[in-house]
Structure 1
Amino acid sequence: MASHPLSPLGAFVRQHDPDRYLAALFAPATRREALFALIAFNHELARAREVTSTPIATLIRLQWWRDAVAEAADGRPARRHEVAGPLHQAITEGALDAAALSALIDAREAEAEPEGIPTREAFGAYLRAGPGGFAVAAGRLLGVADAALPVLQRLGALQGLAGVLRSVPAHATQGRCLLPQDALAEAGLSQEGVIAEPATAEPLRRALAEEGSAQLAKARAEDLPRQALPAALPVVLAARDLARLAAGLPIPAPRGLGDRIAIIWAGFRGRL
């Protein structure tokens, strides 16, 4: 874990994505700042929909990041931004791949669709490309062999599922719902109804959490090289969140000591 002063970028990540921050502390010191840049970039992409009121405004923010990535790939100067600057450096130094980062931006466009995500299949694709793609990018940064990347992608997608389910009430306050439309219809729900009254989605949320818990247990049993650990460790918290959601229990915010100990202990053991 880190034993030297935290950089401004590290402090940014600790504030805005504490789960991934704790995992990143187990990365080698030589890779940690680039990993912080990736996490901060992912946070900024998530904010694109959170801080805008229209789909067009969301797409404009995403395009800003797409342009920033392209400029770094082309060797043009970095943008003056607390995250864009370090991201530019990580790209130009070869720690992060511009094409992979652009794919993460593309995945976020699903969040700008006013109709939401239409099917379970589309929802799964969104999770694999977004949070799953993030885990793959982190794994590549850490030098994980290609053979292990599909496992990382599955773990990342399931972490993303836990995040979506955990955020149903928060998303509703933002006027959106990321649960798949066909699953909502099967449960007698609608996107508009969940936005108006998030509690109506509780049975569906519990059912999806139960499915996710079973899938995550299988994925965690697969072999994963130790160097992939900082990219995979957040699933320790995802597993705890899915279990809580399946049981209809609240998820503490901010996280309690038990959650923090769980991820730190897994990191020291080197096992998920």
Structure 2
Amino acid sequence: MPQNIEIVMSAVRAADRDRYLSALYAPADKRDALVSLYAFNAEIASIRDRIHEPLPGEVRLQWWRDVIAAGGEAGAGHPVAEALNATIAAFKLPKLAFENMLEARIFDLYDDPMPSRTDIEGYCGETAAALIQLAAMVLDPVEAPRFAELAGRAGCAQAMTGLLLLLPLHRKRGQCFIPVDILAAAGSSPEEFVAGDGGPGAQRAVAAMRALAREHLSAFEQGAAALPVSLRPAFLPLVLSRAYLDKMEGLRRSPLDGVVRLSALRRHWLLLRRASRGWPAL
């Protein structure tokens, strides 16, 4: 790993605290690799926030494509790029997964509506689910392929929960990740959802999105007891996804209005308990 891994670790700690905490439960010789994956994800997920026009954002995504395709010393001087290329080489990770992740992130740069449930599941699969599977390949390349389907369910649950948490930010910039078909069933539309108070169908649409996240989370939890100890760190953030969803449903105020947070103590406790005990059989 590059000597400046501390810079990379600090970036993940600041940008993605939940994944940073989960990485601390990985074996010491795998921790830096996981952090490099999470730092890359944080970098490309935040392009919209740092580069406010779509075209420069696409240029940045292309830069990452070129760096990953070239490998080796490509991206020298960029701590995250150096760490990521070292991880890809050391663990023989498939570059196609990163290409697909970058392609999916183009959607973030624009305000186009998410057409359907199938489309958002595909988006989650290429982003959060792929990241879980890559982390699993770092942790245990022999066992990881057996749990690819479980990673897909986990990634959908995690990403959808994250999108719900980011509703206030997305609405502020006129972006709607709730699929058009879900909005229509709730009596709303992307235009109405991002305007003002979201309209009369907004709460129904959010409830439907939470239900979809829970559907994937429940499917993951049905099979999670079979996860070997070696793969647990890749899936640990899912225990926080459940806690976030529970808290959203328990709040009296609308999730459209404010960000839902968990205390640092609660996050540490939930991760520690699941890391030590695993998931119960259901």
Q: Name the TM-score, length of structure 2 as normaliser.
A: 0.86
Distance in 2 between the 1:262 and 1:197 partners? 36
| CA distance in 2: counterparts of 1:169 and 1:32, whole angstroms | 32
In the alignment, which residue of structure 2 is the partner of 1:3? none
Please tell me the root mean square deviation across aligned C-alpha atoms, in Å: 2.1
User: Any conservation in 2 of the 1:152–1:231 contact (CA below 8 Å)?
Assistant: no
Kept in 2, the 8 Å contact 1:118–1:182? The answer is yes
Which residue of structure 1 lines up, in the alignment, with residue 36 of structure 2?
Answer: 37
What amino acid is aligned across from residue 97 of structure 2 in structure 1?
Answer: A
Residues 1-272 of structure 1 mapped to structure 2, 5 A cutoff = 7-72=6-71, 75-94=72-91, 96-143=93-140, 144-197=143-196, 199-200=198-199, 201-222=202-223, 223-248=226-251, 252-253=260-261, 255-271=263-279
After TM superposition, the runs of 4+ consecutive aligned structure 1 residues lying more than 6 A away are none
Query: What is the number of equivalent residue pairs in this alignment?
Result: 265
- Structure 2: how far apart are the matches of 1:101 and 1:215? 23
Point out the more displaced range, 248-257 or 225-234: 248-257
Q: Give me the whole-angstrom Cα distance separating, in 1, the residues matched to 2:245 and 2:228.
A: 24
How big is the shift at 1:110? 2.4
Distance in 1, matches of 2:263 and 2:26, equals: 22
User: In the alignment, residue 178 of structure 2 is paired with which amino acid?
Assistant: L
Give the letter aligned to residue 218 of structure 1: A
Q: Which moved more, 1:129-138 or 1:242-251?
A: 242-251
Report the 3-state secondary structure (helix = DSSP H, G, I; strand = E; otherwise coil) of the residue aligned with 1:96. Answer: coil
Paired residue secondary structure (1:7): helix
Q: Contact between 1:26 and 1:267, CA under 8 Å: does it hold in 2?
A: yes
1:242 maps to amino acid: L
Flag the 1:248–1:95 CA change in 2: closer, same or farther, 3 A.
farther
Structure 1: distance between partners of 2:85 and 2:128:
21
List gaps (5 residues or longer) in structure 2. none
After TM superposition, the structure 1 stretch with the greater mean CA deviation from structure 2, 124-133 or 201-210, is: 201-210
Residue 118 of structure 1 aligns to a residue whose secondary structure is: coil
- Residue pair 2:97, 2:126 contacting (<8 A) in 1 also: no
Aligned residue type for 1:173: K
2: distance between equivalents of 1:49 and 1:112?
6
Decide which moves more: 30-39 or 136-145. Answer: 136-145
Residue 154 of structure 1 contacts residue 219 of structure 1 at CA under 8 Å; is this kept in 2?
yes
Per-residue displacement from partner, 1:48-69 (whole Å, max 9, x unpaired)? 2222323223212211111111
Judged with a 3 Å threshold, the aligned counterparts in structure 2 of structure 1 residues 253 and 241 are, in CA distance, closer, same or farther, namely: closer
Contact 1:35 1:141 in 2 (8 A): yes
**Cα distance change of structure 1 residues 160 and 91 upon mapping to structure 2, 3 Å threshold:** same
Distance 2:203 2:74 in 1: 48
Aligned-partner Cα distance in 1 for 2:249–2:207: 4
| Unaligned stretches of 5+ residues in structure 1 | 1-5
**SS at 1:10 equivalent:** helix
In 2, are the aligned partners of 1:130 and 1:157 still within 8 Å (CA)?
A: no
Q: Scaled by the length of structure 1, what TM-score is found?
A: 0.88
Q: Which amino acid aligns with 1:17?
A: D
Greater CA drift, 254-263 or 204-213? 254-263
Cα distance in 2, alignment partners of residues 224 and 124 from structure 1: 22
SS at 1:27's partner residue? coil
Per mean C-alpha deviation after superposition, the further-off stretch among 106-115 and 234-243 is: 106-115
Q: Provide the rounded CA distance (Å) in 2 between the counterparts of 1:64 and 1:77.
A: 10
- Cα distance in 1 for partners of 2:105, 2:279 equals 30
Q: CA offset at residue 198 of structure 1?
A: 5.5
Mean alpha-carbon deviation: is it higher for 57-66 or for 38-47? Answer: 57-66
Task: Give a deviation string over 1:143-162, Cα, whole Å, max 9, x none.
Answer: 13311121122112210010
8 Å CA contact retained: 2:248, 2:260? no
1:228/1:178 CA distance change after superposition, 3 Å? same
